[in-house]
Amino acid sequence: MKAGSRALLVAMALSALAAMALAKDHIVGGSDGWDTFIDYDKWVAGEIFMVGDTITFKYMAYHNVLEVNMDDYAACAVDKPLSTHSNGSTTFELADVGTRYFICGIPRHCRNGTMHVAVTTVPFDASAAAGPSPAPLPSAPADGSVAASPAADAAAPKPPTGAPSSAVRFQKPVAAVAGLALAALAALLVA
Ligand SMILES: *[C@@H]1O[C@H](CO)[C@@H](O)[C@H](O)[C@H]1NC(C)=O
Ligand SMILES: *[C@@H]1O[C@H](CO)[C@@H](O)[C@H](O)[C@H]1NC(C)=O
Ligand SMILES: [Cu+2]
């Protein structure tokens, strides 16, 4: 095997492992969940969906989740969904780059309400995944004195100890991926 292709394999193995370790589950609508009167355009704007992530819809029994194509999304058409889910907790894996479309199967919830969301998945990016997740939209620090400037954020790669749970969640996976990456590296080098 040429050194170049071996290096490429190593890089691919590392990025795949990193993607697994840093995958994020996005709860659609955050704490509001999947319901009427939630602004999903606004929610989507505050998230970065990367290949390997999942999205989870949490909803009451009278709602459901239909994955539909782009045209049916625009029309709130419920007659030929790609899939239908109704048990109150539905997770989709974002396995590929591209846009996927989800609506509530009650037409007026989609057409006359806000229950439609388009999720665009971008390639996995380890530095974006490991960094702080986008700030919740309406938030401001409870204590104004600790608000870090963008420059301070850039200079400090590690999240502050008081960081939100999303930052904490990444610490164990990062340790795990280091071990896995070393194992993958060893396997490739002896091959
Ligand atoms: C709903 O169904 C999915 C699989 O279709 C399952 O993984 C999940 O645990 C179920 N959730 C509830 C609340 O029953
Ligand atoms: C719902 O939206 C449709 C299409 O925009 C409109 O024709 C209909 O009158 C609306 N219904 C209600 C109850 O607002
Ligand atoms: Cu609904």
d(CA 76, CA 157): 43
d(CA 42, CA 29): 9
Nearest CA to ligand 2 atom 11: 112
Q: Where are the domains of the chain?
A: 1-22+172-191, 25-125
**Tens digit of each residue's pLDDT (9 = 90 or more) over 99-116:** 999 999 999 999 999 999
d(CA 159, CA 176): 18
- Distance in Å, CA 53 to ligand 3 centroid: 24
**Tens digit of each residue's pLDDT (9 = 90 or more) over 65-84:** 999 999 999 999 999 999 99
- For residue 89 and ligand 1, the question of a CB distance below 6 A is answered with yes
User: Given the CA of residue 108, which atom of ligand 2 is nearest to it?
Assistant: 1
Give the pLDDT band (50/70/90) at residue 129.
confident
Q: Domain 25-125 belongs to what topology?
A: Immunoglobulin-like (2.60.40)
Whole-model pTM: value is 0.66
Q: Which residues contact 180 (CB under 8 A, 6 or more apart)?
A: 17, 21
